[in-house]
Chain A
């Protein structure tokens, strides 16, 4: 990689040993991928590592080193959700002990470290930093140093920003340098599609299963999806963006997708159309049968597969405002239809602090709380990481949460039926 004099000076220790080591790491990383240069970041950051898990000692040690050297990030940053919310996600004494004293024993220390180096605000803990209410929204063409797989794929695909799938630590390092190596999804060539996804379903697929099918097939390649605009239209309204958020998150966790194009819908597909497709692109046809095959392939890891669900998480990634509104409406409607007032399974909606704040000013907020639903801003994955939670029969409509925990995935309609309707089929 060719470095400027200023970059070489940092590498050679002119701004201290720690910054030199940070630069070395970023440069070596870029070299592996053939990056020719570092390019300036043009927008705020987003970090993935929001949890003070005591065992991630390297993270806290390096943060201490960064702070001791007086280093801060060039742009402020938002970060993934906090792991704990005892008010809305109740824990017994043993759970609390495990969370506070063992698993997340470094949470307070870590949040202090984040503030020291550039955390944007006290409430900026959400995996959906790009929501209007949160306001970390890159423009088309912005260069980012983001991590959090679901946020990276959203920023690239729905917003047209440019960001590689950065790892935790590298996200901070590049924000400190203010630059990222130019390769992969930062380049025009790297944004071209390796796969054509031909969607031939009879109706709009579940976003979470479609994303899963795509991720499992293409891994980290770029897919160009044909036929989804038939169901979603050609405008990126709030509902469509919410759908793409969930589809992308599933593709990034079940595979490693960092960018997808949806014909006639996402910004680059609108600008360049089929010119985005590589000549030798492979074709993957997705029809109703294929989606059902993928859905049925998910293993059920509960000790008793017939157990009655004890807990339900809806909102991984965090729910958008329109999703929060729709889920609340649907649950109340389903309960009314079944002459019930309370939900059958303890259910937690997860959403960003800012969306929750906005929603809390509505009448619907009060109504949904009366049914027993709780609204939190935690990361459900961080909760289900608790060894005690592992044995609990938890259900979710999130393919990402399914992938990283023993939670059982159900389609949206089934979840609604289980928590507010006639129960498990």
Chain B
């Protein structure tokens, strides 16, 4: 699906549209990683501690390291690293400590995709996933921005 900017209402609001992997609508706060998110490295410590909230433990990702991820709208190019990635996403969804949505600028990778589909089919998770939002989306969005997600994959970013 081609990414395109739909609208530019003002200096503060911009819209993007991507492909819906797992649909839904919500509003929330952006947490942005400019580099690939290593799923295992990011989530393992909090999951192993049975923590109520995920604090990123990935030392190699300064955008996320030590930041709270649970309930945030995680904006990223894609995920990287261990092939446990899908099961890790499924597990954090089953524990209810997942980000509320994952917005991918690129095509979703096989591990994140597995995790989202496993969470949806086997855990009845409401996690939202949208991919192919484009480089411009990831260049524009910043941690702390307000994001509105619509069922059809439209993303509105308000600064």
Q: Which residues of A contact B (CB under 8 A)?
A: 21, 24-25, 28-29, 32-33, 48-49, 53, 55-59, 62, 103, 147-149, 152, 164-171, 184, 215, 219-220, 252-256, 298-299, 301, 385, 387, 403-404, 406
Given contacts A103-B48, A166-B110, A299-B59, contact A255 B84 (CB under 8 A): no
Interface residues of B in 63-103 (CB under 8 A from A): 77-87, 90-91, 94-95
Instruction: Quote the shortest CB–CB distance from B40 to chain A (angstroms).
Output: 6
Q: Which residues of B contact A (CB under 8 A)?
A: 21, 36, 38, 40-41, 44, 47-50, 59-60, 77-87, 90-91, 94-95, 108-111, 113-115, 117-118, 121-123
Q: Is the CB of A29 within 8 A of B117?
A: yes
Q: Is the CB of B87 within 8 A of A165?
A: no
Q: Which DSSP category, helix, strand, loop or mixed, fits chain B's interface?
A: helix
Instruction: Quote the shortest CB–CB distance from A84 to chain B (angstroms).
Output: 15
Q: Is the CB of A55 within 8 A of B91?
A: yes
Given contacts A385-B44, A404-B82, contact A32 B113 (CB under 8 A): yes
Q: Which residues of B contact A148 (CB under 8 A)?
A: 83
Given contacts A21-B122, A57-B91, A219-B36, contact A167 B84 (CB under 8 A): yes
From B21, B36, B84, B121, contact of A48 by CB (8 A): B84
Q: Is the CB of B59 within 8 A of A406?
A: yes
Instruction: Quote the shortest CB–CB distance from B71 to chain A (angstroms).
Output: 19
Q: Which residues of B contact A25 (CB under 8 A)?
A: 117-118, 121-122
Q: Is the CB of B123 within 8 A of A58?
A: yes
Q: Which residues of B contact A385 (CB under 8 A)?
A: 44, 48
Q: Is the CB of B80 within 8 A of A58?
A: no
CA A387 to CA B48, docked complex, whole Å: 9
Chain A residue with minimal CB distance to B80? A256
Q: Is the CB of A256 within 8 A of B81?
A: yes
CA A334 to CA B49, docked complex, whole Å: 41
From A28, A167, A253, contact of B111 by CB (8 A): A167
User: What's the count of A-B pairs with C-beta under 8 Å?
Assistant: 127
Q: Which residues of B contact A301 (CB under 8 A)?
A: 59
4 tightest A-B CB contacts, nearest first: A167-B86, A167-B114, A168-B87, A256-B80
CA A178 to CA B136, docked complex, whole Å: 40
Q: Is the CB of A29 within 8 A of B113?
A: yes
Q: Is the CB of A166 within 8 A of B83?
A: yes
Q: Is the CB of B47 within 8 A of A165?
A: no
Chain B residue with minimal CB distance to A53? B48
Given contacts A58-B94, A170-B114, contact A28 B87 (CB under 8 A): no
CA A49 to CA B38, docked complex, whole Å: 17
Q: Which residues of B contact A215 (CB under 8 A)?
A: 80
Instruction: Quote the shortest CB–CB distance from B151 to chain A (angstroms).
Output: 18
Instruction: Quote the shortest CB–CB distance from B1 to chain A (angstroms).
Output: 11
From A24, A49, A255, A387, contact of B80 by CB (8 A): A255
Q: Which residues of B contact A56 (CB under 8 A)?
A: 87, 91
Q: Is the CB of B117 within 8 A of A58?
A: no
Q: Is the CB of A55 within 8 A of B86?
A: no
Q: Is the CB of B114 within 8 A of A387?
A: no
A32-B113, A253-B81 given; name 20 further pairs at CB < 8 Å: A28-B117, A28-B121, A29-B110, A48-B84, A49-B87, A55-B48, A55-B50, A55-B95, A57-B94, A167-B87, A184-B110, A219-B78, A220-B36, A220-B78, A253-B38, A254-B60, A256-B109, A385-B48, A403-B60, A404-B81
CA A56 to CA B118, docked complex, whole Å: 13
CA A219 to CA B114, docked complex, whole Å: 18
Instruction: Quote the shortest CB–CB distance from A186 to chain B (angstroms).
Output: 11
Q: Is the CB of A404 within 8 A of B110?
A: no
CA A254 to CA B58, docked complex, whole Å: 12
CA A149 to CA B38, docked complex, whole Å: 12
CA A406 to CA B49, docked complex, whole Å: 16
Chain B residue with minimal CB distance to A172? B87
Given contacts A387-B48, A403-B38, contact A167 B110 (CB under 8 A): yes
CA A112 to CA B21, docked complex, whole Å: 35
Chain A residue with minimal CB distance to B91? A56
Given contacts A168-B86, A169-B86, contact A404 B40 (CB under 8 A): yes
Instruction: Quote the shortest CB–CB distance from B118 to chain A (angstroms).
Output: 6
Q: Is the CB of B81 within 8 A of A55?
A: no
Q: Is the CB of B83 within 8 A of A48?
A: yes
Q: Is the CB of B36 within 8 A of A169?
A: no
